[in-house]
Amino acid sequence: MTAVPADPTAPVAANEILLGLNTFGDAGVDADGNPKEHARVLRELLQEAKLADAVGLHAFGVGEHHRRDFAVSAPEVFLAAAAAVTSRIRLGSAVTVLSSDDPIRVFQRFATVDALSNGRAEVMLGRGSFVESFPLFGLDLADYEVLFEEKLELFDKVRSQKPVHWEGRTRPNVNGLQVYPKLQHHLLPAWIGVGGTPESVLRCAEYGYPIIFAIIGGEPRRFAPLVKLYRDAMAKYGHPMRQIATHSPGFIADTDEAAREELFPHWLEQRNRIGSERGWGPGNRGEFDAMCGPEGALYVGSPETVARKIALLKRNLGVDRFDLKYSNGTLPHQSMMRCIELYGSEVAPRVAELLADAS
């Protein structure tokens, strides 16, 4: 298993990769086809986090949403509960929608999770690919860019754990105040999630934060120029190099055929539901199979197939961490539990073997 560095955001060795899990708490259906209650989804999600810890995975992240099809709207509350039933795994968001939150409260909540988990908390900051939180909290989408820019600036000042001096137009000024609680031994690990624009990459590098790319379509190797841009910009700004990660959907079963056949209807339902909101055409089996191929963005198949695809990702992009988004719409809880088990017990050691052999 890959050794976790003392600095949790320091790059790992060239022949290693950290493996994590992401979920949005997808609110699927029960055995009778009825929508699951969010309360049940959250309780099942806690079982999934506990299993991820037991099989030795590096990180477990839950994404913030404010809509019927995802159950997690308050990641830090869930993570605090997960801290009580886990002992090793890192606990974070994937992502926290900073634009529609208060940066001081975000820091305070994650600092609390860090204390309860004995230093295992991390936050991934982003603007989010859904915008329901803006009208919910009385924010204007016309301020989409400035909200994130100003709030990221304030969060960075708070994260330093020094008295905060900040002025802006999106919230009241802060004049030399200290924010509590403080972390015991380190600064709060803070990532920025990006969807693939150079502007977002450069913003992340300006702050010196580790970066995670959401690769949910196309070919992961096409992100190589953005990875290089991040490395070059970090050097330009004089920051020590931080981890580079990717996040992609996937599903693991005993065989390639079993994984594809089980996931496809759930993937298609979610693909078409979200696609109808965004003006996409309907998905189909050909699109799905292409994305499951060696160069596609879906990590679907047997443990051997998924391990080889992760090893290829490491060779192509040189990333330090890969997070599998293992929940997919109406995929059943027991199927996700089996996926997590295989990911930790079979995929992780096989990835380590493949990377060792290639070094």
Which pLDDT tens digit goes with each residue over 341-359?
999 999 999 999 999 998 7
**What confidence category does residue 29 fall into, taking pLDDT thresholds of 50, 70 and 90?**
confident
Scanning the structure block, which residue is given the tokens 């490491």? 314
Q: Answer whether residue 113 shows pLDDT above 80.
A: yes
Instruction: Single out the residue of 124, 81, 117, 107 nearest to residue 181, CA to CA.
Output: 107
**pLDDT, the chain, mean:** 96
Q: What is the reported pLDDT for 2? A: 52
Q: What is the pTM of this model?
A: 0.96
Per-residue buried b or exposed e for 104-124, using 16+ beta carbons within 10 Å of the residue's own CB: bebbbbbbbbbbbbeebbbbb
Topology of domain 18-357 in CATH is: TIM Barrel (3.20.20)
Q: Give how far Cα 352 sits from Cα of 58, 169, 245, 319, Å.
A: 13, 49, 17, 14
Residue 128 tokens read as 């989010």
pLDDT(305) > 70: yes
**Other C-beta atoms lying within 10 Å of the C-beta of residue 7:** 13
Query: What pLDDT, on a 0 to 100 scale, did the predictor assign at position 358?
Result: 84
DSSP 34: P
301: left (phi over 0), alpha (psi -120 to 50) or beta: left
Phi, psi of 32 (to 5 degrees): -95, 5
Please give the pLDDT value at position 95.
Answer: 96
Start-to-end CA span in the chain (Å): 16
**What confidence category does residue 1 fall into, taking pLDDT thresholds of 50, 70 and 90?**
very low
Q: What phi, psi does 116 have (nearest 5°)? A: -65, -30
Chain-centre distance for alpha carbon 242:
16
Residue 128's pLDDT is: 80
What is the model's pLDDT at position 4? 46
At residue 86, does pLDDT exceed 50? yes
